[in-house]
Amino acid sequence: MSEPELFVVCKNCSSEVSPYVTECPYCGQRVRKRAPKIEKGLPLEPPAGRRRKIKPPALPKLRRGEMPGIAPDTRPRATFGLIALSLLATLAVAADAFLLFDAGVLGPVGTKPWRLVTTAFLHDNLGYQFVSLLAVAIFGTHLERRFGGLAVVAIFLLSATAGATLSEAADVYPALGANGAALGLLCAWLVEDRRARGRGDDRDNDLLGVYVMAAVLLLLSLATREASVAAAVGGAAVGSLAGLMLATFRRQG
């Protein structure tokens, strides 16, 4: 098959013109009697008897870690399970099912060390509970979509326990609520995110809101009688350590 001409030269003005015109667009001189036929390529559609239905390509579900910071097919069940436990505990206390002293750290725990864990689910101030659980919802969801529910539960409980333990060691009472656990989740997410950025995985997160939330939780720990600033510091420390471990796990995984 001969190659089609790319252009022809007008004999009158020597301009290069398309081979598919009969007159030069520059001087009007007739270039050829008739334009050449355009060779037919492949048919756009197969014959009627040979048509096949072509299915559009189906995209697989996103796997965790395929896009930075999000996996839409993962629901934060563990995070909202922790929040539900806190709300149920509030309703139980309001209904006099048990007293705060039965499961909270209002003084030395003595022979009941399990209070160091359960105290994180008890609040005696609705504003304090709302802010703490809001932080748990935000950062627990981010962590769960990246690392799974087990990581969220572990960080929540370890941060809460470490915070309550530090509060008892410093003789700072009471130590109720999820301020330590919330700061643990926040710091775990923040440290892992910053470590990822250091490796070149910049997720373009706006950190202003993160710092504001951290400041609110710390100030709330100072301003609210039920909250313990020692618990906040202990929870933040454990959460930061957990963030380093998660960053290492992500790099090796």
> Position 63: which residue type?
R
CA distance 83 to 117: 14
Q: Cis omega (within 30 of 0) on the bond before 174?
A: yes
The number of beta carbons lying within 10 Å of the beta carbon of residue 196 is: 20
Give me the residue spans of the domains in the chain. 77-252
**Residue 8 token pair:** 């022809």
Q: DSSP strand E in the chain: where?
A: 8-9, 16-17
Closest CA to 2 of 36, 43, 32, 34: 36
CATH of domain 77-252: 1.20.1540.10
Q: What φ, ψ does residue 90 adopt, rounded to 5°?
A: -65, -45
CA 47 to chain CA centroid, Å, is 50
Q: Write out the DSSP string of 29-68.
A: -B--SSPPPPPP-S-SS--GGG--PPPPPPPPPPPTTSBT
Closest CA to 182 of 222, 141, 146: 141
> Position 8: which residue type?
V
The pLDDT of residue 165: 97
In the chain, the N- to C-terminal Cα span, in Å, equals 55
- Bridge partner residues of 105 (DSSP): 175
> Position 186: which residue type?
L
Contact yes or no for 46/54 (Cβ under 8 A):
no
The number of beta carbons lying within 10 Å of the beta carbon of residue 29 is: 13
Find all residues with CB under 8 Å of 206, minimum gap 6, and list them.
Answer: none
CA distance 173 to 218: 16
| pLDDT tens digits in sequence order for the chain, 253 residues long | 455 566 777 776 677 777 777 777 766 667 776 666 655 555 555 555 555 565 655 555 555 545 544 444 568 999 999 999 999 999 999 888 777 878 899 999 989 999 999 999 999 999 999 999 999 999 999 999 999 999 999 999 999 999 999 999 999 999 999 999 999 999 999 999 999 888 888 788 889 999 999 999 999 999 999 999 999 999 999 999 999 999 887 655 4
How many Cα neighbours within 13 Å face the side chain of 221? 28
Max Cα–Cα distance, the chain, nearest Å: 109
DSSP state of 142: H
